Chains A and B, each alone.
Chain A
Amino acid sequence: MGTPTATMTLPDDPNLRGDVVLPEVIEGREPLVRGDHDFHAITEMVCKVNEAPILQTPNGLKFGIALAAAGAAMFGGYVGYLFWEGPGIWGNNTPVAWAWDIVNFVFWVGIGHAGTLISAVLYLFRQKWRTSINRFAEAMTIFAVACAGSCVALHTGRIWMDYYLFPIPNQMGLWPNFRSPLEWDVWAVNTYALVSILFWYTGLVPDFATLRDRTTIKWRRFFYGFLSLGWRGSMRHWVTYEKAYQILAAFSAPLVLSVHTIVSFDFAVSQLPGWHTTIFPPYFVAGAIFSGFAMVLTLAIPARQWLGLKDVITIRHIENMNKIILLTGSLVGYAYGMEFFMAAYSGNQYEGFTFLNRMGGPYWWAYWIMMSCNVITPQLYWFKKIRTNVKITFVLSIFVNIGMWFERFVITVTSLHRDALPSSWDYFVPVTEVLFLLGTFGLFFFLFLLFVRFFPVIAMSEVKGVMAQANPHWEGYGHAAGHAHEAAHHHTEAPAIGGAIPSTAVAGTGGHS
């Protein structure tokens, strides 16, 4: 049961309900879960996607998986071709030695950051609305980092030598150079990938147990039983589990900031005009969160539509994400302006040239795509009408994705193509790089759609935990529970119960009382 005011204003059709903006009536906030759902309804809503027989996979999803699988297979072939021929198949050359390989890497790793931000930072700030989108966002993080990892592992050229990046004792007594930002990057990205997987899996275990308990099909029972580790929801387990979850969140929050900071060091520590600035770490982190939230929206808006999850991912979630896009987008816009100001104010002619060349040089089009997508687009979110319009939000989120890819292109390629010595000036012309980018998109969507098909896309146990009914002192129980067990209160140790429940229960209720 939601709040009476909420149910009164909602249309009956669940396909519309999530898109209707409620007047701010319920103690200033909308409920996190719309409509008349009890715990069981949440389970049904989320599990029905996973439980459909394989052959009855919705046609849209089948088509999506097939298309993405084709992209992923193409990527596999492309990697084989790269192994065979070497990076000569790319258009990179001196002075543009870093091009789409690094652009794609920074793009993908940046996208991952919103997932960690949602799962960790919002968790620590007790933002309960995150429970509907965190599973999605974490999955997005892991698959995006997988794409980023393949870009950066492939860009080395001699891929079979990548083990040199790790401190493996070898016959030459050599160690990796721990003073190099590129080595820092290896540690940052690998740590980030591993911690994200651990965090994601920890959250998934209780939901795998739900799927295990509901299924009657043998292979599913084995598959989900294996993954759920025999989880039985014991309260004694939940205590340790929640502590572990909290600690993983507490470490992931600074981790996400450090990862993109270190990615920005790859550029900022070098002495190239256009790269060598101290603004890079915060600017990169803001940009990463900006692009990541856009990608969450790009994925979540169709998913809530097709999977019938509009009561869980409501307009409130979309609006909140748009507000974060507005904030981080403005930070990014500010950083663009500040870079220009510093280039002018420093009086350094090389720095000044680089920035003027970005605006009006051979890559002016990339620069202006970036500016219009990243600076103008988020400013539209000042208007509530736009923030709460699902269709416009979807289109704008794609603009942000495009803009953020071009930002990395502008930073990487335009800073390199004009060297200090005009005789070494050159242009970068993509040769087979387009396939590289498309291939990583294929891999990303292939993994993501398989996740949507087989794993619970909403963190069921967490969503149930933020519903009003989850509070033992919820008013709906007040009469019945209180009356029937009045005796219990008198007989048992009153201080232990009376003292413990109210304080903790209040903390757990969020916007509802």
Chain B
Amino acid sequence: MSDKKHWGLLAQYENPATVTHAAARVRAAGYEKWDVCTPFPVHGLDKVMGVPDSKLPWAVLVMGITGSTFMLFFQAWAMGWAYPMIVGGKPLFSIPAFVPVWYEVTVLSSCVTAFLANWIMNGLPQPYHPAFASKAFERVTDDKFFIMIEAEDPRFDGEKTKALLQESGATLVEELEA
């Protein structure tokens, strides 16, 4: 299996139950470069696969605090220092009047970060993926469930890996080219 164009194997499963069982077997066999693709998040499957928790909330926390702090100081600076203006006899640093915008910008910076970090952390947009060449894979966004194992995985062995996928209940096993 030293063919350079060979990317890995793609196996199709019919329902969430079989794919979950198969994923448990693939993980137990020690594979590392593999993935499960499903039409909707199958709950519990990430734990079976051993996918670690997402780091995304940390990015949101950091950027949320940054945006929030910036906006508080920006308002204080603009109203109290850059162009000091007394409105309604209130002090220049009238924090309560700054709360609404401060709050909105906290939400804004957190949400924009969550949105961008979601795509960045997932490596999207990615217009091409070897699996897109497969006709069967077109149903991954419909009703079929897939496991793919990359040939680069140290434990990958063409015949043995194929056998594992077939035994685990795959209804179809295909080879993918890079």
A67 to chain B: which residues have CB within 8 Å? none
- CB within 8 Å for A177 and B107 given contacts A235-B46, A244-B117: no
Contact residue range for chain A? 35 or more
Nearest-Cβ distance from residue B11 to partner chain A, whole angstroms: 14
CA distance A437 to B98 in the complex (A): 33
Binds B, one of A35-43, A334-342, A366-374: A35-43
CA distance A350 to B49 in the complex (A): 69
- In the complex, whether A59 has a CB less than 8 A from a CB of chain B is no
- CB within 8 Å for A254 and B74 given contacts A236-B51, A472-B42, A508-B43: no
Q: Which residues of chain B (93-140) have a CB below 8 Å from chain A?
A: 94, 97-98, 100-101, 103-105, 107-108, 110-112, 114-115, 117-119, 121-122, 124-129, 131-132, 137-140
Query: Is the pair A179, B25 in contact by a Cβ cutoff of 8 Å?
Result: no
Query: Is the pair A470, B101 in contact by a Cβ cutoff of 8 Å?
Result: no
- CB within 8 Å for A232 and B43 given contacts A187-B104, A497-B48: no
CA distance A241 to B83 in the complex (A): 43
- Contact pick for B39, options A177, A233, A484, CB 8 Å: A233
B49 to chain A: which residues have CB within 8 Å? 235-236
Q: Which residues of chain B (62-81) have a CB below 8 Å from chain A?
A: 74-75, 78-79
Nearest-Cβ distance from residue A509 to partner chain B, whole angstroms: 8
A213 to chain B: which residues have CB within 8 Å? 138-142
CA distance A243 to B56 in the complex (A): 7
Query: Is the pair A251, B111 in contact by a Cβ cutoff of 8 Å?
Result: yes
Query: Is the pair A501, B48 in contact by a Cβ cutoff of 8 Å?
Result: yes
- In the complex, whether A183 has a CB less than 8 A from a CB of chain B is yes
CA distance A236 to B36 in the complex (A): 8
Query: Is the pair A492, B43 in contact by a Cβ cutoff of 8 Å?
Result: no
B163 to chain A: which residues have CB within 8 Å? none
Nearest-Cβ distance from residue A145 to partner chain B, whole angstroms: 14
Query: Is the pair A195, B124 in contact by a Cβ cutoff of 8 Å?
Result: no
B103 to chain A: which residues have CB within 8 Å? 258
Q: In the complex, how many residue pairs between chain A and chain B have their CB atoms under 8 Å apart?
A: 259
Query: Is the pair A504, B43 in contact by a Cβ cutoff of 8 Å?
Result: yes
CA distance A481 to B42 in the complex (A): 16
Contact residue range for chain B? 35 or more
A397 to chain B: which residues have CB within 8 Å? none
B141 to chain A: which residues have CB within 8 Å? 206, 209-210, 212-213, 231, 233, 461
Nearest-Cβ distance from residue A176 to partner chain B, whole angstroms: 8
- In the complex, whether A29 has a CB less than 8 A from a CB of chain B is no
B12 to chain A: which residues have CB within 8 Å? none
- CB within 8 Å for A167 and B143 given contacts A235-B49, A472-B16: no
- CB within 8 Å for A465 and B105 given contacts A213-B139, A213-B142, A229-B126: no
A198 to chain B: which residues have CB within 8 Å? 111-112, 114-115
- In the complex, whether B1 has a CB less than 8 A from a CB of chain A is no
- In the complex, whether A194 has a CB less than 8 A from a CB of chain B is yes
B19 to chain A: which residues have CB within 8 Å? 472
- In the complex, whether A240 has a CB less than 8 A from a CB of chain B is yes
- In the complex, whether A471 has a CB less than 8 A from a CB of chain B is yes
B64's nearest neighbour on chain A, judged by CB, is A251
B119 to chain A: which residues have CB within 8 Å? 229
B92's nearest neighbour on chain A, judged by CB, is A179
- In the complex, whether A76 has a CB less than 8 A from a CB of chain B is no
Query: Is the pair B57, A243 in contact by a Cβ cutoff of 8 Å?
Result: yes
- In the complex, whether B15 has a CB less than 8 A from a CB of chain A is yes
- CB within 8 Å for A175 and B118 given contacts A231-B124, A461-B39: no
- In the complex, whether A421 has a CB less than 8 A from a CB of chain B is no
CA distance A195 to B107 in the complex (A): 8
Q: Which residues of chain A (158-215) have a CB below 8 Å from chain B?
A: 167, 173-181, 183-184, 187-188, 191, 194-195, 198-199, 201-202, 206, 209-210, 212-214
A471 to chain B: which residues have CB within 8 Å? 16, 43
- In the complex, whether A496 has a CB less than 8 A from a CB of chain B is yes
Query: Is the pair B125, A230 in contact by a Cβ cutoff of 8 Å?
Result: yes
- In the complex, whether B161 has a CB less than 8 A from a CB of chain A is no
Query: Is the pair B79, A178 in contact by a Cβ cutoff of 8 Å?
Result: yes
- CB within 8 Å for A472 and B17 given contacts A232-B37, A235-B36, A497-B24: yes
Nearest-Cβ distance from residue B124 to partner chain A, whole angstroms: 5
Query: Is the pair A232, B56 in contact by a Cβ cutoff of 8 Å?
Result: no
B146's nearest neighbour on chain A, judged by CB, is A233
- CB within 8 Å for A241 and B122 given contacts A39-B142, A43-B142: yes
- In the complex, whether A488 has a CB less than 8 A from a CB of chain B is yes
A199 to chain B: which residues have CB within 8 Å? 111
- CB within 8 Å for A469 and B142 given contacts A178-B101, A202-B115, A244-B117: no
Query: Is the pair B48, A500 in contact by a Cβ cutoff of 8 Å?
Result: yes
- In the complex, whether A464 has a CB less than 8 A from a CB of chain B is yes
Which residue, of B40, B49, B168, B169, has the highest number of chain A Cβ atoms within 10 A? B40
Nearest-Cβ distance from residue B113 to partner chain A, whole angstroms: 9
- The proximity string for B residues 21-51 relative to A, scoring 1 for CB distances below 8 Å and 0 otherwise, is 1101101100000011111111111111111
Q: Which residues of chain A (402-418) have a CB below 8 Å from chain B?
A: none
CA distance A251 to B43 in the complex (A): 23
CA distance A206 to B49 in the complex (A): 21
Nearest-Cβ distance from residue A92 to partner chain B, whole angstroms: 25
A90 to chain B: which residues have CB within 8 Å? none
3 A-B pairs closest in CB distance: A508-B43, A500-B47, A244-B118
- With A233-B140, A262-B100 already in contact, 4 other A-B pairs whose C-beta atoms are closer than 8 Å: A39-B143, A232-B37, A248-B114, A488-B24
**Can you list 14 pairs linking A and B with CB atoms under 8 Å apart?**
A180-B87, A188-B100, A206-B40, A232-B129, A232-B140, A233-B37, A241-B41, A244-B54, A472-B17, A472-B42, A485-B168, A496-B24, A496-B47, A496-B48
Binding site for A on B (CB under 8 A): 15-22, 24-25, 27-28, 35-51, 53-54, 56-57, 60, 74-75, 78-79, 82-83, 85, 87-88, 90, 94, 97-98, 100-101, 103-105, 107-108, 110-112, 114-115, 117-119, 121-122, 124-129, 131-132, 137-143, 168-169
